Chains A and B, each alone.
Chain A
């Protein structure tokens, strides 16, 4: 099949695995909503009001990051529990088309949550068109990074039970510890570099910069203060995960 037919395959997978189930059972999106919205609610109740917009941007990023957890669980479930991944392996569909199709289905499930967070953000911290698109861009790169990582991990397990804790651990570590829901500036300057060990920190800092929160250029340590370096690192990590997902993921069992 040509690149075009592979893209078409990805779109079909997004349609029947994401859009159709979403239309039939809209409550499925609740799973995506609940955690980030609870975090935001706590933040609203206990934190200073000026942190609230960080929390809203955090909700956008958390939602994007957790597409990776959904990807991990759904891919593992379809492969192990329903034996459905094998019917795509034994077919002209390439792993990259399957990966993209599954990742797009995960994205479909996040649309209501993303819409909600972006709506709230517009109320508490109105954005210019450019800022809005920049934030959306960061969210999309983050989605791609997380889903490729989720797919990669999913292919290495033989038991569904083993996967659930791994996913929760991986993606909670990526979204709760780094400054996703709180400003980077809260971390004492000498220790900030530690946050930059997590890929999600780049998403968070870029998102905050995109919407004009904590835009101080020296907020991050050293050369990481340059937004283009931050973007470069985020894109590089995403490419790395994507390449790993295409070349290292176990499409065929060993």
Chain B
């Protein structure tokens, strides 16, 4: 059952330097308990969508319903059920991570006891234990960001919006945060996150949407995105092929001293045979989500130009 439904959402900003069409006819729905990732380049419109859905920004057109309530008409009915990690947020200067979590929960109406218990739990789960009682101004950027994510995830709100939640974190911290995000969905929350890290989207999300120039280019599972752009397999040849011979089969790249081709499974089988016939070493593997993303968005940009 969808808990978020967006229909024909559009947003135009009217600035001093003219109009910016940040979202253009975006429709999508997200089922309960899902982890949905929004992918797109800088300025694609991800933050704009999150702000509209999280009752922080009015759309120019279209409707977003959360738990059946219209976010424009009934924000008060929606707000108790959501929490948001804003993009590039920063914590309160003087407060410690523990105070951030406890005070935010209590401000939202939690009792003292439950705020204390939940903050102990989440600080531990997110590896914030050693920093729990240091004021934020002494903490590194990555730990500050983890503090914000902790205070939002600790709410256990039924719908969580996370706008680039792992920005600036080291790989260990990112994995801890992923684990807590997964736990949130196991607990019944629905998560919409944006990220620049394609491996993060691949690791975390069951479903994703690719947005470019305010338009939805794709929505579905990561694997299907690879199939859709016809780039499921990466072949690497140790020489022996001219670019012109490979080009009709897919995208040719040069990585270090090797020629790489991103292509379909069918073409990969044919070319592997041909390479082996010529006695050329070839390695075969799946493309990454990043490669499929680059291909999809790259085509969109080429069409525009």
- Name which of B80-88, B125-133, B192-200, B259-267 contacts chain A: B80-88
- Name which of B106-114, B206-214, B239-247 contacts chain A: B106-114
Q: If A83-B89, A91-B108, A92-B109 touch, does A24 touch B135 (CB 8 Å cutoff)? A: yes
Contacts of A212 in B (CB 8 A): none
Please tell me which one of the listed residues B56, B58, B87, B88 contacts residue A89 in the complex, with CB atoms under 8 A apart. Answer: B56
Asked whether any CB of chain B lies closer than 8 Å to the CB of A96, the reply is no
In this complex, the member of B54, B89, B109, B155 whose beta carbon has the largest number of chain A beta carbons within 10 angstroms is B109
* Smallest beta-carbon distance A162→chain B, Å: 12
Asked whether any CB of chain A lies closer than 8 Å to the CB of B141, the reply is no
In the bound assembly, the distance between CA atoms of A127 and B288 in angstroms comes to: 78
Contacts of A15 in B (CB 8 A): 103
**Contact: A90 with B161, CB < 8 Å?**
yes
Q: If A24-B94, A83-B87, A87-B86 touch, does A93 touch B108 (CB 8 Å cutoff)? A: yes
Interface of chain B residues 43 through 93 with chain A (CB within 8 A) = 51, 54-58, 75-76, 79-80, 82-93
* Smallest beta-carbon distance B88→chain A, Å: 6
Interface of chain B residues 171 through 189 with chain A (CB within 8 A) = none
Asked whether any CB of chain B lies closer than 8 Å to the CB of A21, the reply is yes
Please tell me which one of the listed residues B89, B92, B106, B152 contacts residue A12 in the complex, with CB atoms under 8 A apart. Answer: B106
* Smallest beta-carbon distance B292→chain A, Å: 31
- Name which of A1-9, A203-211, A233-241 contacts chain B: A1-9
Contacts of B85 in A (CB 8 A): 87
Q: If A87-B83, A87-B104, A92-B109 touch, does A252 touch B92 (CB 8 Å cutoff)? A: no
Contacts of B287 in A (CB 8 A): none
In the bound assembly, the distance between CA atoms of A9 and B135 in angstroms comes to: 22
**Contact: B95 with A20, CB < 8 Å?**
yes
* Smallest beta-carbon distance B294→chain A, Å: 29
Which residue numbers of A lie inside 8 Å of B, CB to CB?
1, 5, 8-9, 12-13, 15-17, 20-21, 24-25, 81-84, 86-94, 101, 252-254
Please tell me which one of the listed residues A82, A92, A101 contacts residue B108 in the complex, with CB atoms under 8 A apart. Answer: A92
Asked whether any CB of chain A lies closer than 8 Å to the CB of B24, the reply is no
Interface size range on B against A: 35 or more
**Contact: A89 with B90, CB < 8 Å?**
no
Contacts of B232 in A (CB 8 A): none
- Name A92's closest neighbour in chain B (CB-CB): B80
What does DSSP make chain A's interface, helix, strand, loop or mixed? helix
* Smallest beta-carbon distance B305→chain A, Å: 31
* Given contact pairs A20-B95, A89-B55, A94-B76, a sample of 16 additional A-B residue pairs in the complex whose CB atoms are under 8 Å apart: A5-B109, A9-B109, A12-B103, A16-B103, A20-B94, A20-B99, A25-B94, A83-B88, A83-B89, A88-B107, A89-B79, A90-B55, A90-B79, A91-B83, A92-B109, A254-B57
* Smallest beta-carbon distance A48→chain B, Å: 44
**Contact: A253 with B58, CB < 8 Å?**
yes
**Contact: B57 with A253, CB < 8 Å?**
yes
In the bound assembly, the distance between CA atoms of A125 and B155 in angstroms comes to: 53
In the bound assembly, the distance between CA atoms of A253 and B72 in angstroms comes to: 12
In the bound assembly, the distance between CA atoms of A251 and B95 in angstroms comes to: 24
**Contact: B99 with A87, CB < 8 Å?**
no
Q: Mark B228-255, 1 if CB is under 8 A from A, else 0.
A: 0000000000000000000000000000
22 example contacts (A-B, Cβ-Cβ < 8 A) are as follows: A1-B109, A5-B109, A8-B106, A9-B107, A9-B109, A15-B103, A16-B95, A17-B92, A21-B93, A82-B92, A86-B84, A86-B89, A87-B89, A87-B148, A89-B55, A89-B79, A90-B56, A90-B79, A90-B82, A93-B107, A252-B55, A252-B56
Q: If A9-B107, A87-B152 touch, does A1 touch B80 (CB 8 Å cutoff)? A: yes
In the bound assembly, the distance between CA atoms of A216 and B158 in angstroms comes to: 63
Interface of chain B residues 126 through 146 with chain A (CB within 8 A) = 135
- Name A9's closest neighbour in chain B (CB-CB): B107
Q: If A16-B99, A253-B57 touch, does A90 touch B106 (CB 8 Å cutoff)? A: no
Q: If A15-B103, A24-B135, A252-B75 touch, does A87 touch B84 (CB 8 Å cutoff)? A: yes
* Smallest beta-carbon distance A86→chain B, Å: 5
Please tell me which one of the listed residues A5, A82, A88, A101 contacts residue B91 in the complex, with CB atoms under 8 A apart. Answer: A82
In the bound assembly, the distance between CA atoms of A84 and B89 in angstroms comes to: 7
Please tell me which one of the listed residues B83, B86, B155 contacts residue A83 in the complex, with CB atoms under 8 A apart. Answer: B86
Contacts of B86 in A (CB 8 A): 83, 86-87
Contacts of A5 in B (CB 8 A): 109
* Smallest beta-carbon distance A154→chain B, Å: 16
In the bound assembly, the distance between CA atoms of A91 and B107 in angstroms comes to: 9
In the bound assembly, the distance between CA atoms of A5 and B107 in angstroms comes to: 8
In the bound assembly, the distance between CA atoms of A160 and B102 in angstroms comes to: 29
